[in-house]
Structure 1
Amino acid sequence: MTVSPAYPKVQTAPGQPAPRRRRLGRKLAPWLFLAPGALMFLVYVIIPIVESMWISFYQWDGMSAKVWVGISNYLELLDDDAFYTSLKNNIIWLVLYMLAIPFGLLIALFLNQSVRGIRLYKSLFFFPFVISQVVVGLIFSWFYAPGFGLFFELTKWLDGTGIALLANPNTVTYGIIAAGLWPQIAYCMILYLTGLNSVAPDQIEAARLDGAKGIKMLWYVVLPQLRPATFIALVVTVIGALRSFDLVSIMTSGGPFGSSRVLSYYMYEQALSEYGYRMGYGAAIAVVLFAIMMIFISGFIWKMWRDERGL
């Protein structure tokens, strides 16, 4: 036995506009779902960025009263040799870190096969992504260590003396970048493996019927469908190269003689370490790093937008 409701449900006839309350609810629903995320983004991203820009115009040690100095912190950067060394190292990071994208793609193509033992291979290649950057830094520090490190012993076997990679100002940055590429390649590999799962099989079969194979199949059929994964890999790799702090801190602490500093680590030295406590100067370095990052990311977004519109 069913009990009919006391008030019958109001139904609108086809073509008749929905009641005002329902239309208002449909308009407000997306904003209500977005509100928590937008609030957190405002509090933890936008406001700190604006605050950092504001602090960069002050001389401040983090405790005493702020002193307005205008653009003096930015003018000081122009005569700071350590800043130029950090900027040069960031450019080296940015260029060499791009190797993670093609290597990640090649490994993903290899792992996207139905062969015996492929799950074991996937686990081995996936392992660097799940471990902490601190652990990666320690592993490679031991790998490069003079006296007992595997790299040092191999080079000693080749040239008789051995290469202390992290002790040489000319090679230390490249040694740290090699450590960073290990997990970054794994991350790009995961992005491309996900993208390969969405490649349309009918397009692959059609290309095979037309005689496409090998490089032509990859260039003209597979890569165009992997464009979203490539865009994400580019953005993440650029961000990873520009915010390379943890590996530098763990492996060299900016040494030897400050030769492995990057902008993020130099910002930390100036603002928060015992050598500085210059919050305004550190904020100026952070603003420069943020501007460089936004130039690259904005360029990628603009290029993707033009490609989507076919311009």
Structure 2
Amino acid sequence: MTARNTLIAYTFMLPFLILLVVYHTWPVIFGTYLAFTKYNIISPPQWVGLANFRELFADGQFWSGLRNSLKYILVVPVIQIIAILVALLVNRPLKGIGFFRTAYYVPVVTSFAVVGLIWNWMYQQGGPVTAVLGFLGLPQNGSFLNNPATALYAVMFVTLWKGIGYYMVLYLAGLQGISPELEEAATIDGATRTQVFWNITLPGLRPTILVCSLMSTISAIKVFEEIYVMTQGGPAGSTYSALFYTYSRAFVDFQYGLAAAAGIIIAVISILFGLINFKLTRGGKVDA
């Protein structure tokens, strides 16, 4: 009976498993193989061993892109802190709170092509951002996206603005999963709001923090869409990311082996930062 039920279960799962193998498992295996070959899609792959990795390590453009991708991780703690604060704000039973929850989430469902065009206009000389800076008496050095010193941080701010709503929803779900009796008991015992937050709310959010920080860190390391839409890696390579390097090698230079090798390095770095996230959040375990 158990074997029959197992067979039925796997029969229902079969269509999904086939799609998983075709569109995920096989590309990973084939991409790993390509990392050790010279391949330009026209000629068959030629095994070259570690030659692609040696070329990457000697390529200053790859290291520049990798540095920018690692610098992009600065977005992660900022976006998580703001998302938690916004989730705490919209978790209150206030009048019209549904409108604010929706308003914070609107950027998430907006296409990045649209978001990129809007922020390109806002950042340009004479746009709203420079106008506000001028009104406040702050210095203006032309468009933020045309200045190598500010371009990457300008793109990072757009990522921050667009992603807050997404993580807010996840943290809101986490907050609503924390027993209100615990907070009420702590308040009755004389704990302040700050003490309740640090000793009950934040530990209760630890599993959500782990999930959100993992997703945010991996997205930061693999940043591409924002760069492609807003700057194309410029100016002067100041926003050139590791994944943009992979894209350029594969779809501009048709060096698929080199691109696959870069992809493996990015994946390994993502795994390492994932392990760091597990360590910092204690594996997402809630204190007993």
Q: Does 1:265 align with 2:247?
A: no
Query: Structure 1 length normalisation: TM-score?
Result: 0.85
Counterparts in 2 of 1:80 and 1:38: CA distance versus 1, 3 Å: same
**Cα distance in structure 1, aligned partners of 2:279 and 2:75:** 23
Any stretches of 5+ residues in structure 2 without a counterpart? none
Counterparts in 2 of 1:31 and 1:305: CA distance versus 1, 3 Å: farther
**Cα distance in structure 1, aligned partners of 2:146 and 2:25:** 39
- Runs of 4+ in structure 1 displaced over 6 angstroms? 302-305
Q: Does 1:154 align with 2:132?
A: yes
Using the TM superposition, give the Cα deviation of residue 133 of structure 1 relative to its aligned residue in structure 2, in angstroms.
2.0
Give the structure with higher Rg (CA).
Answer: 1
Query: Structure 2 length normalisation: TM-score?
Result: 0.91
| Alignment-mate amino acid for residue 50 of structure 2 | I
| Alignment-mate amino acid for residue 152 of structure 1 | T
| Alignment-mate amino acid for residue 129 of structure 2 | F
Higher relative contact order, structure no. (Cα contacts within 8 Å, ≥ 6 residues apart): 2
Deviations along 1:228-266, one digit per CA (max 9) or x if unpaired, are 211211111012112211110011101112221111111
Any stretches of 5+ residues in structure 1 without a counterpart? 1-21
Name the counterpart of 1:129: 108
**Cα distance in structure 2, aligned partners of 1:70 and 1:284:** 11
2:38–2:48 CA contact under 8 A, matched in 1: yes
1:57-68 pair list within 5 angstroms: 57-68=36-47
1:152-191 pair list within 5 angstroms: 152-157=130-135, 158-159=137-138, 161-191=140-170
1:55-134 pair list within 5 angstroms: 55-134=34-113
Using the TM superposition, give the Cα deviation of residue 303 of structure 1 relative to its aligned residue in structure 2, in angstroms.
6.9
1:169–1:259 CA contact under 8 A, matched in 2: yes
CA RMSD of aligned residues (A): 2.3
Name the counterpart of 1:3: none
Q: Does 1:237 align with 2:216?
A: yes
Counterparts in 2 of 1:280 and 1:226: CA distance versus 1, 3 Å: same
Deviations along 1:74-115, one digit per CA (max 9) or x if unpaired, are 111111111111111111111223211110000000111112
The residue matched to 1:99 in structure 2 has which SS?
A: helix
The residue matched to 2:235 in structure 1 has which SS?
A: coil
| Alignment-mate amino acid for residue 274 of structure 2 | I
| Alignment-mate amino acid for residue 227 of structure 2 | V
Q: Structure 2 residue aligned with 1:216, among 190, 195, 199?
A: 195
**Cα distance in structure 2, aligned partners of 1:181 and 1:173:** 12
